[in-house]
Amino acid sequence: MFKKLTNASVKMVERLLPDAFIFCIILSILVFILAMPLTQQGPMDMIKHWGNGVWGLLAFSMQMSLVAVLGNAFATAPAIKRGIIKLAGIPKTPTMAIILVTAISTVCCWLNWGFGLIVGAILAKEVARRRNDTDYRLLIASAYSGFVVWHAGLSASIQLDLASGPSSYAAKVGDAITFMSTYGPNGDGIIDIGRTVMAPWNLIVCLVILIVMSFVNAKMHPEKDKVFIVDPALLAEEDTYVPPQKGKRTPAQAMENSPILTYIMVIIGVVYLGYMFGVKHAALNLNYVNLIFLLLGMAFHVTPIRYVQAIGEGAKGAAGVILQFPFYAGIQGMMVGVSAASGLTLAGVISNALVSISTSVSFPVWAFISAGIVNFFVPSGGSQWAVQGPIIMPAGLRMGITPEISACAVAWGDAWTNMAQPFWALPALGVAKLSARDIMGYCIIDLLVTGVIIILGFLIVGWTGVSALSPADAAAAAASLLG
């Protein structure tokens, strides 16, 4: 069964999946066309909305680019690589190898998705160099499979955006913005990660996925005569950087290779973080996550010039974000652009349609599924938040669902179908020297398995009442939406 489904999914991916930027253009055109009849607006109205929104996510674009670049740079630090090499020597059987790679990748992607993607791929390559009985394609697929939890972890763009407060919301939540600005335990619109990423239900779902997916991946290992083996010599990598000898360094080279300069900046950054978290009790957000990985990367690369080179390599993985975010910001502008004639927005129309088919229990599931579908067209979590936030957030409030559950449903949906959308696999595939068609068949199985787990998780959240607004919040939300 697994083999037939794998082969079918590989053929489908090869025939139907264009570059992610093509999806970006297609979605822009689709939103442009749909919005006019549904909101009673003309072409020029939509062009204005698009142009007004196209540069609306510049700060958020930089934040998301840095997540990829800084995580990648940290993962390639010599000390981290040495640790990965030691881990690669642990497995004694193919089953143990697949389980180890899956588990390590999942944990690292939860910590930081850019870090996890690269660590998983490097670990898979090191295991392949040591074991000629473990399928290389499945190893890389297992490394990528951990990415399914990234949007439930510490670099989750949606949840960290909520923790930054209403002034930083990348996706303006339409007619829910008034309520959202006063929501939260302190009435300041800040939804800290204790209510999203670190919520018990979210951590349980992540743990179940880690355990189940590890064994599912191991179960997919082919028979001995069908194992795909790669020549270990092709996987060897050499560090081409040779620091100049101390006695022959120019003053410029001496500064470039000075650990002292690095650690002065690291100390300053650590003191600042200690002050913000220990004294000011700041909530973790994207800026703090990026600063933490910036300092870790500098510390582990030791010298400034080594870190400069690592950042240069990592920047290649952020190209898609840089190119696509302005277009998704333009889509957001068209989604929330108000019709002068009808007062309608496309986000509002879709929101009402989603509410009409949902109950308070099923709404997070429908939000999750819709986010999974949208992710095929909008493969960036930040961009998807820009597109779907104005739809899902007010719709959830109308159903009496807390904003954090609605946001988490979008986040999980975005991460889920990455198993069938190879956009974010590209950095790992580049390290592995494979193509998307080599791993997508295995990833489709992970898509099906994790989808069941996540849906059950949201149904339990609905049945137990975890997702329900308090009576006071429900009344405030209703007043805001009506106003």
> What digits encode the pLDDT tens for the residues 10-28?
566 556 666 667 877 888 8
Q: Which residue has the tokens 């080594």?
A: 306
- Residue 7: per-residue pLDDT: 57
Of residues 10 and 420, more confidently modeled: 420
* Mean pLDDT for the stretch of residues 349-358: 77
Decide if 394 contacts 481 (C-beta within 8 A): yes
- Residue 102, in any domain of the structure: yes
- Give the separation between CA 300 and CA 282, rounded to whole angstroms: 26
70-74, 91-95, 270-274, 406-410: segment of lowest average pLDDT: 70-74
83-92, 320-329, 457-466: segment of lowest average pLDDT: 320-329
Whether residue 171 is predicted with pLDDT greater than 60 in this model: the reply is no
Q: Using a pLDDT cut of 70, give the percent of the chain over it.
A: 86
- Residue 13: per-residue pLDDT: 58
- Residue 248, in any domain of the structure: no
- Give the separation between CA 455 and CA 451, rounded to whole angstroms: 6
Of residues 354 and 11, more confidently modeled: 354
Q: Which residue has the tokens 């590989």?
A: 10
- Residue 409: per-residue pLDDT: 95
- Residue 69: per-residue pLDDT: 84
- Residue 266, in any domain of the structure: yes
Q: Which residues contact 452 (CB under 8 A, 6 or more apart)?
A: none
- Give the separation between CA 288 and CA 160, rounded to whole angstroms: 10
* Mean pLDDT for the stretch of residues 43-70: 86
Q: In the chain, count of helices (H) and strands (E)?
A: 24, 0
In the structure, what pLDDT confidence band is assigned to residue 306 with cuts at 50, 70 and 90?
Answer: very high
- Residue 359: per-residue pLDDT: 87
Decide if 117 contacts 422 (C-beta within 8 A): no
Decide if 406 contacts 466 (C-beta within 8 A): no
- Residue 238, in any domain of the structure: no
According to DSSP, residue 276 is labeled: I
**What's the number of domains the chain is made of?**
1
Q: How confident is the model over 29-43, as pLDDT tens digits?
A: 998 999 999 999 999
Q: Using a pLDDT cut of 90, give the percent of the chain over it.
A: 36
Burial-class residue 105 by CB neighbours within 10 Å (0-12, 13-18, 19+): buried
Q: How confident is the model over 427-440, as pLDDT tens digits?
A: 666 666 676 677 87
Residue among 216, 151, 200 at smallest CA distance from 460: 200
Decide if 188 contacts 165 (C-beta within 8 A): yes
According to DSSP, residue 401 is labeled: B
195-204, 215-224, 244-253, 454-463: segment of lowest average pLDDT: 244-253
- Give the separation between CA 178 and CA 477, rounded to whole angstroms: 9
Q: Euclidean distance between the first and final Cα of the chain, in Å? A: 54
Domain residues for 23?
A: 2-232+254-482
Exposure b/e, 208-220, CB count within 10 A at least 16 = b: ebbeebbebbbeb
* Mean pLDDT for the stretch of residues 335-342: 83
At position 209, the amino acid (one-letter code) is: I
- Give the separation between CA 151 and CA 408, rounded to whole angstroms: 8
- Residue 258, in any domain of the structure: yes
- Give the separation between CA 380 and CA 179, rounded to whole angstroms: 27
Containing H/E element for 167? none
Q: Which residues contact 40 (CB under 8 A, 6 or more apart)?
A: 339, 341, 342, 344
* Mean pLDDT for the stretch of residues 224-244: 65
Residue among 62, 15, 65, 32 at smallest CA distance from 319: 65
Average pLDDT, the chain: 84
Containing H/E element for 113? helix 113-130
Q: Which residue has the tokens 């997508």?
A: 440
Q: Which residues contact 332 (CB under 8 A, 6 or more apart)?
A: 53, 56, 57, 171, 172, 386, 387, 390
Q: How far is CA 432 from the centre of its chain?
A: 20
Torsion of CA 24, 25, 30, 32, to 10 degrees: 110
- Residue 165, in any domain of the structure: yes
Decide if 310 contacts 301 (C-beta within 8 A): yes
- Give the separation between CA 200 and CA 297, rounded to whole angstroms: 30
Backbone region of residue 190 per phi and psi (left: phi > 0; alpha: psi in -120 to 50; beta: other values): beta
- Residue 482: per-residue pLDDT: 61
What is the model's pTM?
0.78
- Residue 262: per-residue pLDDT: 96
- Residue 464, in any domain of the structure: yes
- Residue 242, in any domain of the structure: no
Of residues 274 and 163, more confidently modeled: 274
